[in-house]
Structure 1
């Protein structure tokens, strides 16, 4: 008994191992099975569509038989009642196929749309959950191509072709049964030749999948080039490099064209083999069938019906071959999409710490960071400092020294490779993600506005933004408008906004292109302070403003800091940081000096002193 159990366990292990080997050797089958599982939530619609499909296929199975009998009635001059019966059956079969075929098309079209929404939503959700380093190392054009192009191939190809495949299989089995009923010998001849055709379909389908993957990758590359050129059109125009961008784009398209030509060639060869195989089978069946008719072993009417059935098998096999190739194409697209969906987030997950009191005390303890896109270069190294709540601090230093990196760590765009970032004594990753970003807000040196109105861009920072499509009472709208205007005034943006024709309802354009650089920065500052953050991060946030506007905003945000928020500034201008409570001097990724403006100026031959001296003599910091 023990021996038998041991043997049974061994057999089970061998079977499991064999299954794993099969799955590894057929990754496209595993991908397609997974893709089919995404459709299971629509099982009721799929069941309804399959029911319609079964009726359509059943009707179409009898069409060749009824066609043969109808033609036989004409050829042999059967009595009119018999002809009329065959005609009515023929028309009835076609009518049922057309009627329920329309229902089938509608149901499966709905399934395609629902599957596409699920796939796109899942992939988009995956993108937005990735760490910022993921976007540093992946081109946005390729990500958008996967989101828009590959998911469409997956949903459309799979849903449509699966329904066609099921219908073709139903018809194939049904016609074979009818053919057996007419004559078993002729049917066996037909079946013997079918495996050869299926082998050709299998081989060409595998090759088509590899070519399809290449086409999809090249399509993603072309999307990346076009998106980059369009978004950077001012730079392209400034350097008169339109022809260069066109050359890059067409070069990739030419490569894709070559792959598409190869794919079309494969499809043509496959069709030739399938059609030639069908012709060969037809010739063999006609030869043997004619012999049976001459020997009176098969009625002529049955022979005619059999030929009609056999001719109907050719298009069915051709459809199956095309469906197989299309499913291989979908498998190629699915592999790329599922690769992103399955990607593990490399950043530590956020915690759930949401304290009632958030003071905003910040401490860096020997922090070192290396950006994912530059793994061999340290952005900052062993940086330590402490920031007291309610005060204003500045990070100064040459370009690329690591000033913005310190602010990026506080936004938790990246986690340090070494050391700790503490807020109120807790590591930053312990805080709840949404809670943390309600307390800390960043205005970047390249402010990005959405293609919405100025009002909607400022309200983007508010929780109410989640329900912006929901109708609000007039009192709520008035109160919200007052909050928006208050934030705009604090950011010195209300005057220029009021001067626009549509005021706060003025569209900003894609990435804020309808506004000037200074206007974008002021709207971005308003968007940041409307949330009333405890910690405000300004990364060159006033670099595009004139000195007067910059002074007004600084007086509002820094000198008249009624909320007693902690303000951290990364800047190059002396006027921006000289009145800060404390200044951190970063040079080549290291904290080299810290203190007030007066204390740092007292350091002989110090980095800060040299920086200020060069600014005062209009040399700038580029030579540091």
Structure 2
């Protein structure tokens, strides 16, 4: 909470508490005979007055006001209870209403200091807190717990082993104490006593190992489940998502964030459940052995939590400042190196050295402050542990002298105290680590909550397709630029059994039309029909087996040439594979390779030349015998007759060619010319040449067919795309 609220709230609570005590004076004769119960009744009666008082701070009521009221009400009752249980014999609890006014002032002063200490301190250097992660943390933790619950069988087995290991670890000190008492009484060692100690140790070791192994298995299964779920969800997103999201960011989710999230629950459950279970079981045994000593020893728990909370808040604040200082230093170095010529020209080396020295000094001061505060809080924790241990020893000496406990009970108790202390430390640090790792995955859940905008719910799967494509008044705009449509009322046909070419200058909308036909995007208005059926009505996988695209620079996957051509096909004859490779012009270079079909293409096909990658991609497309084959700048000069050959041999039923090469365009049966997103001409190449319209201007802009300029345009493009 903010400092003004933290300073105003204690004063208001003090006034309200004084008023409540005045009202409770008539009830003193009723509460005093009740002892400890009367103390807590007094606290319960004071609490409503304190709670109502906090609402007077509206609209500036701090978030911790209710907790402050409860703390003020419960502190005197808790002190009186501990004084009654741990104090000298005959020391009874005293009501706050009958105590000296000094006690009221001391109570509220302690609470005020606690509120100020508990409030998160501002970061050194005025670094603001990042509020973005705060609302996400609880939701991400619940999502991690829900994911872990899906592996409840493994988690349940690990939890059973955890309980059995805790029982074995707990019985060890208890059996040791019994053995010591037996020796003291002159009974001597017995096989049963030694066997009990050995059995407890063996059970602890055995079930601890099983517990650890099951939690490792749980981590692996969660990693597999979450990685598969995230990947399956991402590959179904629309293209705009991948264009807006860097690939490095998505890769980092799989390589860094998924392992961290999947480690949170197993490691957290392993540490927290074990430590919490052990602390509860050992604490119960301590209460059974010596209730008074147990209350005194367990005072370390709330005090340790408070110290750890303050230390954690300070550490987070300093870490934010450290990150800012390190970033400032690195930025200064990068800027100086980039502008070294300017620095040299103006002889500014000394100024840059001073600035860098200043940045390093700030970073060093923060590091020193972090180390000093770490040493200070470590010292406070050690002093607290030592103080509690001295008090326990002093009190146990009194009870041992008075005959309330035996030496064996004392040894067992001290062993339990060491055990519960270590588990409390694990709880303090393990819980914070669990929250940090669980909250780190908020981006993963954000991706999983994102719905894909593309509709892939079609069901049409006709046994045969003719490959007749129709664009009906199609208009499309990209989401990032809705004011400028890329296609405007585009209408044309791609007839079955023909080669249709899309022509146009760069930016005319050719690639967008191909994306709509591949259904990588959906039109804003109008329809794209295949054999008279709108594309969204076709089943997703069926459509992409029947409409196949080959690009100028196609993507190949790591593996062999054979595996890339067979991609996605389960059954294929060797004769069909060779026929497709021969038709694509890939057979000659494949046979010339040392390993032939089993040649590794490398990542993205980097072991092959651009032209060879294109031949492999053509073979991959022809092997599927598509209803519609789309060639986006995938044909070179000299390949213009290939498309007609594929139609005659039945390797494709319809071919749509996108090209800038005049020879390829002239070989088409039908031409569709686009300009600025609109269809301006359609017809045969010869007819459009005679018309002397947009197609003729396009050829003149890039060179005449067969002329020097056209030849140069084609050869340069081919050299750029097919260079070895």
> Is 1:570–2:663 an aligned residue pair?
no
> Is 1:93–2:182 an aligned residue pair?
no
Q: Distance in 1 between matches of 2:457 and 2:656?
A: 23
Q: Which moved more, 1:199-208 or 1:305-314?
A: 199-208
Which structure 1 residue ranges, 5 or more long, are not aligned? 1-23, 216-253, 465-478
Kept in 2: contact 1:367–1:416 (CA 8 A): yes
Partner residue of 1:557?
646
Q: Distance in 1 between matches of 2:492 and 2:159?
A: 67
Quickly say closer, same or farther: Cα 1:140–1:302, change in 2 above 3 A.
Answer: same
Kept in 1: contact 2:625–2:650 (CA 8 A): no
Of the candidates 557, 565, 578, which is equivalent to residue 458 of structure 1?
Answer: 565
Of the candidates 564, 581, 586, which is equivalent to residue 488 of structure 1?
Answer: 581
Measured after TM superposition, the shift of residue 321 of structure 1 is 2.1
Q: Distance in 1 between matches of 2:610 and 2:234?
A: 29
Partner residue of 2:632?
539
Q: Identify the structure with bigger relative contact order (alpha carbons < 8 Å, sequence gap 6+).
A: 1
Kept in 1: contact 2:623–2:651 (CA 8 A): no
1:93-172 equivalences under 5 Å are 93-172=200-279
Kept in 2: contact 1:209–1:331 (CA 8 A): no
Quickly say closer, same or farther: Cα 1:269–1:453, change in 2 above 3 A.
Answer: farther
Of the candidates 482, 496, 517, which is equivalent to residue 610 of structure 2?
Answer: 517
Partner residue of 2:592?
499
Q: Distance in 2 between matches of 1:500 and 1:135?
A: 36
Q: Which moved more, 1:603-612 or 1:589-598?
A: 603-612
Kept in 1: contact 2:641–2:667 (CA 8 A): no
Measured after TM superposition, the shift of residue 342 of structure 1 is 1.7
Q: Distance in 2 between matches of 1:187 and 1:511?
A: 67
Quickly say closer, same or farther: Cα 1:563–1:294, change in 2 above 3 A.
Answer: closer
Q: Distance in 2 between matches of 1:416 and 1:268?
A: 65
Measured after TM superposition, the shift of residue 271 of structure 1 is 6.8
Quickly say closer, same or farther: Cα 1:126–1:209, change in 2 above 3 A.
Answer: farther
Q: Distance in 2 between matches of 1:209 and 1:339?
A: 25
Partner residue of 1:51?
160
Q: Distance in 2 between matches of 1:177 and 1:204?
A: 29
Kept in 2: contact 1:137–1:372 (CA 8 A): no
2:473 is paired with a residue whose SS is strand
Measured after TM superposition, the shift of residue 605 of structure 1 is 5.8
Kept in 1: contact 2:515–2:521 (CA 8 A): yes
Kept in 1: contact 2:212–2:270 (CA 8 A): no
Of the candidates 697, 712, 721, which is equivalent to residue 609 of structure 1?
Answer: 697
Q: Distance in 1 between matches of 2:675 and 2:495?
A: 23
Measured after TM superposition, the shift of residue 574 of structure 1 is 1.1
2:298 is paired with a residue whose SS is helix
Q: Distance in 2 between matches of 1:212 and 1:455?
A: 53
Kept in 2: contact 1:614–1:620 (CA 8 A): yes
1:386-397 equivalences under 5 Å are 386-397=493-504
Q: Distance in 2 between matches of 1:108 and 1:134?
A: 36
Kept in 2: contact 1:31–1:331 (CA 8 A): yes
> Is 1:62–2:150 an aligned residue pair?
no
Q: Distance in 1 between matches of 2:375 and 2:467?
A: 68
Partner residue of 2:460?
353
Partner residue of 2:478?
371
Partner residue of 1:442?
549
Q: Which moved more, 1:33-42 or 1:167-176?
A: 33-42
Quickly say closer, same or farther: Cα 1:204–1:533, change in 2 above 3 A.
Answer: farther
Measured after TM superposition, the shift of residue 193 of structure 1 is 4.0
1:39 is paired with a residue whose SS is helix
After superposition, the C-alpha distances for 1:47-98 in whole angstroms (9 at most, x for unaligned) are 222221111111112344456677x689x98869349876654443222211
2:573 is paired with a residue whose SS is helix
Measured after TM superposition, the shift of residue 202 of structure 1 is 5.9
1:393 is paired with a residue whose SS is strand
After superposition, the C-alpha distances for 1:16-50 in whole angstroms (9 at most, x for unaligned) are xxxxxxxx987534433332333344333332222
After superposition, the C-alpha distances for 1:395-434 in whole angstroms (9 at most, x for unaligned) are 1222233211111111111111222222222221111111
1:536 is paired with a residue whose SS is strand
After superposition, the C-alpha distances for 1:150-174 in whole angstroms (9 at most, x for unaligned) are 2212222211321322211221111
Kept in 1: contact 2:457–2:536 (CA 8 A): yes
Q: Distance in 1 between matches of 2:675 and 2:224?
A: 49
Quickly say closer, same or farther: Cα 1:599–1:28, change in 2 above 3 A.
Answer: same
Partner residue of 2:388?
281
1:173-212 equivalences under 5 Å are 173-199=280-306
Of the candidates 515, 530, 533, which is equivalent to residue 426 of structure 1?
Answer: 533
Q: Which moved more, 1:124-133 or 1:504-513?
A: 124-133
Kept in 1: contact 2:458–2:538 (CA 8 A): yes
Partner residue of 1:401?
508
Partner residue of 1:226?
none
Quickly say closer, same or farther: Cα 1:455–1:83, change in 2 above 3 A.
Answer: same
After superposition, the C-alpha distances for 1:595-620 in whole angstroms (9 at most, x for unaligned) are 22223223446354343453235285
> Is 1:336–2:443 an aligned residue pair?
yes
Measured after TM superposition, the shift of residue 201 of structure 1 is 5.1
Quickly say closer, same or farther: Cα 1:157–1:274, change in 2 above 3 A.
Answer: farther
Kept in 2: contact 1:108–1:159 (CA 8 A): yes
Quickly say closer, same or farther: Cα 1:510–1:431, change in 2 above 3 A.
Answer: same
Measured after TM superposition, the shift of residue 323 of structure 1 is 2.1
Structure 1 or 2, whichever has the larger Rg, is 2
Measured after TM superposition, the shift of residue 327 of structure 1 is 1.6
Normalization by structure 1: what TM-score?
0.77
Measured after TM superposition, the shift of residue 106 of structure 1 is 2.0
Q: Which moved more, 1:598-607 or 1:449-458?
A: 598-607
Normalization by structure 2: what TM-score?
0.67
